[in-house]
């Protein structure tokens, strides 16, 4: 800022915080791609379920795990196991 002419320093000081903000305000390319895939997958799933509804449907809570979170496999497996354990009494009726 010191290298700018004095006439521009005040204006630059007012604009700098907005232009140099550390936080991202718009989604990146991979965020948009992942969201598009999630929307498409949700649409396909809903269409198939409408045509052939399941007897039992298990829905583990995985919203906190994103498309590219391959390192969170253990978390996903643990959540799936918990979901099955909670649904086991209902599942036993269909076995």
**Could you tell me if 49 and 41 are in contact, meaning their C-beta atoms sit under 8 angstroms apart?**
no
42 and 3 in a common domain: yes
Give residue-wise pLDDT tens across range 39-51: 999 999 999 999 9
65 and 44 in a common domain: no
15 and 41 in a common domain: yes
Which parts of the chain sit beneath pLDDT 50? none
DSSP string of 17-83, one letter each residue: HHHT-SS--S--HHHHHHHHHHHHHHHHHHHHHHHS--SS------TTS-TT-GGGHHHHHHHHHHH
Residue 36 belongs to what domain range?
1-53
Number of domains the chain is built from:
2
23 and 5 in a common domain: yes
72 and 43 in a common domain: no
pTM over 0.75: no
């Amino acid at each position: 800022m010191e290298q700018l002419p004095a006439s521009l320093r005040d204006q630059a000081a007012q604009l700098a915080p907005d232009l140099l903000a550390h936080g991202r305000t718009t989604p990146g390319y991979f965020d948009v791609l992942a969201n598009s895939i999630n929307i498409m997958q949700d649409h396909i799933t809903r269409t198939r379920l409408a045509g052939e509804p399941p007897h039992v449907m298990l829905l583990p809570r995985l919203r906190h795990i994103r498309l590219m979170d391959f390192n969170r496999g253990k978390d996903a497996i643990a959540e799936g196991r918990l979901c099955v354990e909670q649904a086991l009494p209902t599942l036993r009726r269909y076995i």
